A and B are shown apart, each in its own frame.
Chain A
Amino acid sequence: MHEIFLDELKKLNEEFMEMGVYVNDQIDQATRAFVDHDKKAAQSMVDDQEKVPKESLRIQKKALELMALQQPVATDFRIVISILKAVTDLERIGENALSIALETIRVKGNARIEPVEDTISEMTHNVRHMLIKVLTAYVQDDKKMARDVDNNHNGIYSDYIKARKLIVKGVEKNPDTAVAASSYFVVIRLLERISDHIVNIASWVIYKTTGKLTELIDPNDAL
């Protein structure tokens, strides 16, 4: 009986990780399409947009079933609850990546600001690194690594401020970039939001490993 539960739990964990890896690729694909002006790649993401919410729903359904039918407590309870909570953050990350793809389609063909796009690439790299880190912390039950994700979040915020300044500068230099600039603002904001969700996942890793609920993001830090 309990082997069945452990097996189910293992599967649930694997599905959560797979979804994490998939969403991480989505961030890459979306920003790459944005920076490369690749409308086709962006469109293929839009075509696949049902995949993440569907998977999220499936994981949530499974987690709820385990809660109701197996009534896990202690460590098992924390594993199921943290998946149930963290999966909605993963889903939001997927939505944000999709929004970046939509911006690609919107901005195509307008004058661009190269230094901003470089910063967006860099920011994407950092956000993806954060997500990989939080997923690793999740698998390894490493609360120290999870806490460290919060430090990376501060770096993302600096990237965000830097990008904003570059956008303003670019528009001042060439007003034709105004349309692209409006998209840049959206994209950097979305990347920053993704990093917030990653920090939320980190706080679920901490709950899973210690049973302590922590607020890693200072609510006063809202942009």
Chain B
Amino acid sequence: MKEIMTAKNVKLSYGNFEALHGIDLDFPEKRLTALIGPSGCGKSTFLRCLNRMNDDITGVKISGDIRFNGKDIYSPKMDLVALRKHVGMVFQQPTPFPFSVYDNVAYGLRIAGVKDKKLIEQRVEESLKQAAIWDETKDNLKRNAQAFSGGQQQRICIARTLAIRPEVVLLDEPTSALDPISSMEIEKTLMSLKHKYTFIMVTHNLQQASRVADQVAFLMNGNLIETGPTEKMFISPKNKVTSNYLNGRFG
């Protein structure tokens, strides 16, 4: 299977504090990888390295090698806008812009210079359908996206990310601000999309990881402790500490 993103010896420090101590982790294409670990273990920091979201933090130093489709994303030649077009992101809190559903989903396409109204219309519909929010928005496309429920807003945000046809979608605890029913809707959405896109998801919800992920990576104190297929991680992980974490002994 093709590895769409690869990370080798990724280290990150904020000033004198080293938050990631050298992470090696590869991401197979069109699979969902869950990053799990106790709070402060570095999983979100690592996730944000994958589309260079940490670049602007003052005092941050990142080393190692992260490649997207074989290209070094930290190379000076890398076009950041192009990278983020291919590697999209969905955040913990739904972040719809304060305008209509339609304009939210069309936003990225317009920024990318797409002028063809028909194409935009088509993409908006397709993306809302993919994010499983079409039925709930098709009659209200002009309504302000912020007027929808949290779960619906998050699916609108997923649709907005999908509209520019990324190859990889980074999800930073996408359901932690949502109620269980909305979370389930998002999980269903991810399950139906994971054969089309590569997802890399940080989650604190271990059962969610076991339900939707194909691969799980367990991080602790800035180190990758163990990674493997989800069944293997949840039934027979190599490390005792992985089993202890999965059973909620700490974290």
Contact = CB atoms under 8 A, between A and B. Distances in A.
B234 A73 contact: yes
B243 interface: yes
Interface in A1-27: 1-2, 5
B108 interface: no
A203 to B, nearest CB: 15
B16 to A, nearest CB: 34
Given A71-B207, A73-B210, A210 B247 contact: no
Interface size class of B (residues with CB under 8 A): 10 to 19
Contacts of A5: 247
B86 to A, nearest CB: 34
Nearest to B233: A74
B247 A2 contact: yes
A73 B235 contact: yes
B70 interface: no
Interface stretch (A52-60, A75-83, A85-93, A162-170): A75-83
Contacts of B243: 73-76
A133 to B, nearest CB: 24
Main secondary structure of the interface of A (DSSP, over half): helix
B207 A211 contact: no
B141 interface: no
Interface in B222-251: 232-237, 240, 242-243, 246-249
B206 A73 contact: yes
Contacts of B247: 2, 5, 72-76
Interface in A190-219: 210-212
Interface string B191-209: 0000000000000001100
Nearest to A211: B236
A74 B249 CA distance: 12
Task: Find the residue from B207, B233, B243 having the highest chain A CB count within 10 A.
Answer: B243
Given A210-B236, A211-B235, A74 B242 contact: yes
Interface residues of A, number: 14
Given A75-B240, A76-B243, A2 B248 contact: yes
A78 B243 CA distance: 11
A78 B246 CA distance: 13
B236 A78 contact: yes
A186 B36 CA distance: 56
A2 B246 CA distance: 12
Contacts of A78: 235-236
A5 B210 CA distance: 21
B228 to A, nearest CB: 11
Task: Find the residue from A5, A72, A75, A211 having the highest chain B CB count within 10 A.
Answer: A75
Nearest to B232: A211
Contacts of A211: 232, 235-236
A211 B236 CA distance: 5
Contacts of B248: 1-2
Nearest to B247: A76
B207 A74 contact: no
Nearest to B236: A211
Contacts of A1: 248
B135 to A, nearest CB: 32
A72 B242 CA distance: 13
B249 A2 contact: yes
A9 B65 CA distance: 44
Nearest to A2: B249
Contact of B237 (A2, A71, A74, A212): A74
A75 B248 CA distance: 12
A75 to B, nearest CB: 4
A71 B247 CA distance: 8
A23 B138 CA distance: 67
Contacts of A76: 243, 247
5 cross-chain pairs, A with B, having the tightest CB-CB distances, nearest first: A211-B236, A74-B243, A75-B243, A73-B246, A73-B234
Interface of A: 1-2, 5, 71-78, 210-212
13 contacts: A2-B248, A2-B249, A73-B210, A73-B235, A73-B243, A73-B246, A74-B234, A74-B235, A74-B243, A75-B237, A75-B247, A77-B234, A212-B236
Given A74-B236, A75-B243, 4 more contacts: A5-B247, A71-B207, A73-B206, A74-B242
